[in-house]
Structure 1
Amino acid sequence: MLRRGFLDMRNRLTADDVRTAAAALAEHALELPELAHARTVAAYVSVGTEPGTLTLLDALRARGVRVLLPALLPDNDLDWAAYDGEGSLAPVRHGKKMELLEPVGERLGPDAVTRADVVLLPGLAVDARGMRLGRGGGSYDRVLARLERAGAHPSLVVLLYDSEVVGRVPAEAHDLPVRAVVTPSGVRRFT
């Protein structure tokens, strides 16, 4: 029910709201020291009324950052491929799930994410502890578990709207907190 509430709020946003928020989000994210020094960033392509990511992805590429984007596997795990600009994306429908924009380049395998300096995570909300509420599909839980198993410690950053930073979200024992949340109005860090 909590997820549905956040999705309902997003569904009320106009295309102009999303576009304006995406520009502000990119501006604030690019000020993060973690992204300023990153050589490889694992990110994602926003869909629908999610906080927009394409402006940020293109700005990272312009800085010479290698950007990895996910491709959803049949078991909901994620494979990764390099982002080479908006023309390197194709719409892919996964059964009855939403259509996603995925990279068309060579697949690098699920472990490619372990070499990222920063992982930009999608979500629906984050709380004062830095705990992220995802969509519930488990794809990014697998990514976070893979990072943990590999002993990889990239900076974890979630991209959200301002109204999605809340007092508390449910968390399970396997959940990992993010280091920061970037919203259209700025950055908030968690300890």
Structure 2
Amino acid sequence: MNTPNKAAWRTLLRARRQATYDAAGNLTATVSSTATVDQETVGRDLARTGLAFLDSLGAGESVCAYVSMAGEPPTDQLLQILFGSGRKVYVPVCEPSHQLSWTPWYPAVPMVRSAFAPVMEPIGPRLPFERLETVSAVLIPALAVDFTGMRLGQGGGYYDRFLPSNTTIPVAALVYEHEVFPAGQLPHNELDAPVNYALTPDRYQALGTPAEPLP
């Protein structure tokens, strides 16, 4: 499908995310199976589900995740719990030509705004993905994902370039519950690489399987 169609979807999904926050900064019930909750509760649920997902994959010395931006499923508590579980945690840093390097994350790590994207990045050594130690999974941002594993990102192209180079390590897209779509519903093209899992505050779900709805 073409780029304008993807752009229209991004506009719609961003607007929906913005609308999920009420005047008090709480998240509405559209992002969770529970009643209206605050970001701290959603972050705690995502941390619990993310740790269960990592544990289900077995041993691994490290995990790749990311520092969430406003409106995204909040990853602060997820990063904390992964680090506290004894894993090494790496998050991406943006490089020229829409490439990614990875740097260690730890509580209270100094942060700086990226020179290439509207995100915050830790200050530290920048490593190529192949130099990271025994990565058990890669957790990445998304605006939506469908049951074939097709992911709609923010449009920067960083992960579109990274994903084809990673063919063996499980990749999970972090989204809200209502952002998991039936197979074939999201626009995509030949440059899009599928992911293996959807990870929401409520559950994790294998993708690339028959298009069954989340229970």
Question: What TM-score do you get using the length of structure 2 for normalisation?
Answer: 0.77
Match of 2:111 in 1: 90
CA offsets 1:75-124 (integer angstroms, 9 cap, x no match): 22111111122x214131436x52x2211111113544695220001100
Q: Distance in 2 between matches of 1:91 and 1:12?
A: 28
Partner SS state of residue 105, structure 1: coil
Q: Distance in 1 between matches of 2:175 and 2:156?
A: 18
Structure 1, unpaired ranges of 5+: none
Aligned length: 184
RMSD: 2.0
Match of 1:131 in 2: 150
- Of the three residues 67, 92, 95, the one matched with 1:70 is 92
Q: Distance in 1 between matches of 2:17 and 2:110?
A: 24
Match of 1:170 in 2: 187
CA offsets 1:56-90 (integer angstroms, 9 cap, x no match): 111011111111111111322111111122x2141
Question: What TM-score do you get using the length of structure 1 for normalisation?
Answer: 0.86
Q: Distance in 2 between matches of 1:114 and 1:77?
A: 20
Structure 2, unpaired ranges of 5+: 1-7, 28-38, 210-215
Q: 1:35 to 1:48 in 2, by over 3 A?
A: farther
- Of the three residues 145, 162, 176, the one matched with 2:164 is 145
Runs ≥4 residues deviating over 6 A: none
Q: 1:115 to 1:173 in 2, by over 3 A?
A: farther
2:26 maps to amino acid: D
Q: 1:138 to 1:126 in 2, by over 3 A?
A: same
Is the CA contact 2:61–2:133 (under 8 Å) kept in the aligned structure 1?
A: no
Q: Distance in 2 between matches of 1:105 and 1:113?
A: 14
Structure with larger Rg: 2
Q: Distance in 1 between matches of 2:106 and 2:112?
A: 15
**Is 1:22 equivalent to 2:51 in the alignment?**
no
Q: Distance in 2 between matches of 1:91 and 1:50?
A: 19
Q: Distance in 2 between matches of 1:77 and 1:113?
A: 16
Q: Distance in 1 between matches of 2:58 and 2:19?
A: 33
Match of 1:40 in 2: 62
Deviation at 1:163, TM superposition (A): 1.2
2:15 maps to amino acid: D
